[in-house]
Structure 1
Amino acid sequence: MNRPGVDGPGVDGRGTAPPGTAVPYDAVILAGGRAERLGGADKPGALVGGRPLVERVAAAVPDAGELVVVGPPRPMAAFSAVFTREDPPGGGPVPALRAGLAEVSAGWVAVLAADLPFLEPSHVSALFGAARAAGAAGAVLVDDGGRRQWLTGVWRTETLRGALRQYRGRSLHGLLTPLEPVLVRLPAPEGGRPPWFDCDTEADLGAARRSAGPSGAR
């Protein structure tokens, strides 16, 4: 069954959710990857606009009841986070998601990569609004090429746990596609970067830093 996509249910095209879509949720940030295209550097700790990437992502989920970071413990200025690790460390996003969900108690969960410098609370709200309006298991952003951004999404916690219990593969695509999430397209701000922009390479980091502006800028 196909779910609505472009500017799907609950999304008004400006990255905001309609009134009444607030929902208690926890957040899981996956921050334990190997960053091979960055030469193994500490990507979640890379500074953009004077702030580590992982903290910029944490700022996009200010209403999360529990903030869970899957990765090595690190200082998180102004954020209280629970740290956990996948088994084995560096084992990939599916084991990391499994480890993160073990710390989640809310009925909904935001699942995010640690390298999304331009993700904002309004984008996360739009995802929740779209998922709830459609009665769906979740919602994920799609980029301007139509690719699903599996690490920029929100999910019903028990549905996600059930899928993980049955899944033996290593691919987020294989795990999450059968859950038929709502696909949400949100525009980039004029002259800015879209919410799904991630920092996989030095060139990406450079572009993010130029867009973020001086130290302290969002």
Structure 2
Amino acid sequence: MLLGLGTGRASEAFIRRLGEQVRRGLQIQGIATSERSEALARRENIPLVSFEQIERLDLAVDGADEVTPDLGLTKGLGGALLRERVVAYEAERFIILVTPEKLVEKLGSRAPIPIEVVPFAVPTVTRHLAALGGKPTVRKNADGFPFQTDNHNWILHTVFGPIDAPAALDADIRKIPGVVDNGLFLGMASAVLVGEPGGVRELTRQR
């Protein structure tokens, strides 16, 4: 089986559990969505491949920052949204792991929308996002310097508040020159697994 390995706390827990199964004989290969997840997978002795070696993934497993009833997602607070989207797009199924507090009625209700931007364009993209009603701030490391993605871009954490029309906002953001990707993942999740005290609840998209 070919697996996409996500980024963030939920994904790291999944990778560690997957490593246990690999040591017991499970035959899988993975593609990681970040250098951090790749390093963890290597420590867990999970065989890794690249898209130069394969064409499609059987399954991608990742976390999310928000999930709506129609399985719209906010992702990217882990700083890996672009690679997460590539891996999810190339997977036959895309499964999301969350805890109950991530469930919201509207995206933007509890988390900013991460927007990956070419550093040169940060000032202009900031102005355009403000014109769309957003309040963007540059994500920074603990040392005060801008956070850089594995692709050497910056991230603007942009607060929009609850978003009434996420598809329209997604389209408007993508029109801005210098934007590489944004954290609105719409119509991509196959299912969401919600870890609750009594067990795991599965959410599927209503057809």
TM-score, reference length from structure 1 = 0.23
> RCO (CA 8 Å, sep 6+): is it higher in 1 or 2?
1
Q: Which has the higher strand share?
A: 2
